[in-house]
A and B are shown apart, each in its own frame.
Chain A
Amino acid sequence: MSRSEEEYRKFVGSRAASLHRTAYLLCGDWHLADDLVQETFVHTLRHWRRVERADNRNAYVNRILINEFKRHWRRYGRLPVRTDIDRPEVAVPDVSDEVVNRADLLRALLTLPARQRATVVLRYLEGMSERETAAVMRCSEGTVKSQTARALNTLGGCLKPKESPL
């Protein structure tokens, strides 16, 4: 195995779980998330030299994932949001149910327009700054702000009231 191949495999290993989580929140389906991440890594490998040279590899690969997701959304985005959301088989403590109706939140997330959805997932799951998100989304920081505000307005309805949405 060449050094480049080794580097690539290391990169896949280090990024797979995070990309998988992001993909799930983008599409709402674990199986589809598997496919999106697999396809993202295919593109990453095809452009590996470019990825290696990128200032921020993670941002570059997130961009590829977002492209894959948008492509999918373009084709099937209007299929209904699933109400029988597959829960992970691994038991998860419902800590957030104190303040959030989880199924409603996911449903609301999946009804957001693709750009808004990607923006809030990058901001609040990946923890990206507005500047990083803008770089991945190829838009201005102002757009990130406005997309985020609108998305939070929608998602805020799923947070049980102790405060106003924003």
Chain B
Amino acid sequence: MNSPTEQRVGAAFRDLVAEQPFTPDVSAIEQRARQARRRHRMVQGGIGAGVVAVAAVTAVSVASSVPATPARPAQAGGAHAVTVHPSGRSNTHASASSSASAATPQPLVQLAAVLAAEPQPKGNATLVERETTLAGQATVKVWDLYTDDGRYFFSQTESGLPAQVQEDNNQGNGIFAREIAAAEYAVTGNLDTAALKMAWAANTTPPPAWITDQVKDISAGGLQIDNYVWENSEDALTAGAGNPQVRAGVLRLVSILPGVTVTHGTVDGQPTLTLTAGAAELGGSGGAGGSSYQEATTINAETGIPLKFTGGPASGPPDTTVIWKLTRVTLADIAAGKF
């Protein structure tokens, strides 16, 4: 830390955090750790016994649960059929791969092809009503406005949004624009290149060799690029939710992530696909930070529009649930308060 600016930033940081007392609650920590270990053991133990005991049930669920498996023929194959999940669903999904893949075309790739042919919808922005529920806490509703060119406006109230647009309070920082561009590229472009663009979308510098090198091995899983592509694709899916091309590109990209599984379902009568990330997609391949956390995004199975996000322990109810409701709008209408 040599330059005067760096020294001043360091001094300012130290000043910002000065003298705030904190004593960790060690007994609560130990209790939480014990509970987590117990839950982990129960899940692990339950799986072995459960595989045989619920064979009949599995046979039914297999028909509606398939791995995301890759879109690229060069990378399609055994590596994906043996995807291992922290929750131990590998047998189920391995079976699904062999029994369901012949009858069921890859759902993400199939849906992406449909979406790619759709025309651009009216409007130039997407208004998202975002409702977040944390376990044991009140629900919070906020409003996000994503423009098609990657700008992002936020308001805690619906009525506060016009002012954000009028003041051009863009909080997108260019990242959403790059993520959206990467997704659009993925619709027809080379998926290796698209994955790299998406993985590195948070940066304006050229991707370094370490991540470029990971692209060719992405089908093996367990790489940082899995995590980067998954996280940025999730961003793109919400930021570009109003544009079918973006949704198509995101689905193609997610289809090459080896740890992601796709489950058919319904929400409020709508057919859905739930995309559940594996450990590598969540950055947990190194072990630090715990591997029991799971993330899933549910989309409409016919439109690809994101409906719900859940995050939390692999077993039990989620810690976080986010429900999105989307409306296509024009920026001018929002600025004028006409929505």
Contact = CB atoms under 8 A, between A and B. Distances in A.
Given A24-B20, A125-B10, A47 B287 contact: yes
Given A43-B289, A127-B1, A155-B9, A111 B171 contact: yes
Contact of A41 (B16, B24, B36): B24
A166 B3 contact: yes
| A-B pairs, 7 with minimum CB distance | A67-B289, A21-B17, A124-B10, A45-B33, A20-B22, A96-B15, A100-B12
Contact of B10 (A17, A79, A127): A127
Contacts of B224: 138-139
Interface of A: 9, 12, 16-17, 20-21, 24-25, 30, 33-34, 37-38, 41-43, 45-47, 50, 60, 63-64, 67-68, 70-71, 74-76, 78-80, 88, 90, 92, 95-96, 99-100, 102, 105-106, 111, 113, 115, 120-121, 123-125, 127, 138-140, 142-143, 146-147, 150, 152, 155-156, 159, 163, 165-166
Q: Residue among B10, B12, B37, B293 with the most chain A CB within 10 A?
A: B12
A114 B144 CA distance: 19
Nearest to B292: A46
Interface in B260-315: 283, 286-290, 293, 295, 309, 311
Contacts of A50: 287
A80 B288 contact: no
Interface of B: 1, 3-6, 8-26, 28-30, 32-33, 36-37, 132, 142, 144, 152, 154, 156, 171, 173, 175, 202-205, 208, 210, 224, 231, 234, 283, 286-290, 293, 295, 309, 311, 320, 322
9 contacts: A25-B16, A47-B290, A63-B288, A67-B288, A71-B289, A123-B6, A124-B6, A159-B5, A159-B12
A152 B17 contact: no
A75 B322 contact: yes
Given A20-B20, A60-B288, A46 B36 contact: yes
A42 B33 contact: yes
Contact of A152 (B5, B171, B295): B5
A78 B144 CA distance: 9
A40 B215 CA distance: 31
Given A9-B26, A24-B17, 19 more contacts: A16-B22, A38-B24, A41-B24, A41-B29, A46-B37, A47-B287, A63-B288, A64-B288, A67-B288, A71-B293, A75-B311, A75-B322, A80-B156, A88-B18, A92-B18, A102-B12, A113-B173, A140-B210, A156-B5
